[in-house]
Amino acid sequence: MHIEKYTRSAVGHILAHNEPTKARAQRENVDETLTHYNYNLVKGKGIDNLKKVLSFPNVRCSKRKDLNVMCSCVVSMPDNLPIERQREFFELTFQFLNNRYNSPCVSAYVHLFDEPSAKPHLHYCFLPLVRDEKNNGFKVCAKELITRKDLQTLHTDFKRFIDNCMGLDLEILNGSTSNGNKTILELKTQTLKNEIERLEKVKKRVQNEIDRELSR
């Protein structure tokens, strides 16, 4: 499970990634023949739902360009989850996140098989709303809703909830989640390290092929 925050200018990209469109298929490495297995646990298009909530008179949203107006939580299916209980897992995850953040969910797409390099996973996108006591309503404020304390307990609380509901001991906690959610910088750094290691292996393989050719 990983949470990331998005500004107004960035929400369109992640919501477009979730939708089963031709543009997504052309832009990303997906298998269109398998996209029909994906499903959304929320009615309507994400961008339309987002605009609708932001238009409510009791919701205050600053016009600052750097304001995070949406959060996305990506939850992958545990390796030891029985395949026949897959949908149950994602529906319970949806319920857990609804209850934890108590904020409008604008899109909850489950991507199953059309991304060859990814396990089945849920994209849970929501507006980070908190009470605005001053104006007797709500305001968009990710930093008040997604706190360090929240991230430190997120995975353990999620595992306890899921295991209790499903009667299983799922592989949810691992080296990257047992001490809380990794920061975005840490995740990007790890991704970069993995890519460097991959390129080094490719370089070594190519160099070996060149050496063999030269030795003939």
Burial of 130 (0-12, 13-18, 19+ CB in 10 A): middle
Residue 182's pLDDT is what?
Answer: 46
Domain covering 2-180 in this structure, CATH number: 3.30.930.30
The tens place of each residue's pLDDT in the chain, 216 residues long, gives 889 999 998 998 888 888 876 667 666 778 888 888 999 999 999 999 999 999 999 999 998 989 999 999 999 999 999 999 999 999 999 999 999 999 999 999 999 988 877 889 999 999 999 999 888 899 999 999 999 999 999 999 999 999 999 999 999 875 444 444 444 455 455 556 655 766 677 777 777 777 777 777
Distance CA 171, CA 162 (A): 11
Domain ranges (residues) in the chain: 2-180, 183-216
> Beta-carbon neighbour count of residue 108 at 10 Å?
23
What 3-state DSSP class applies to 20? coil
Cα(150)–Cα(100) distance, integer angstroms: 10
Q: What pTM, to 2 d.p., does this model score?
A: 0.77
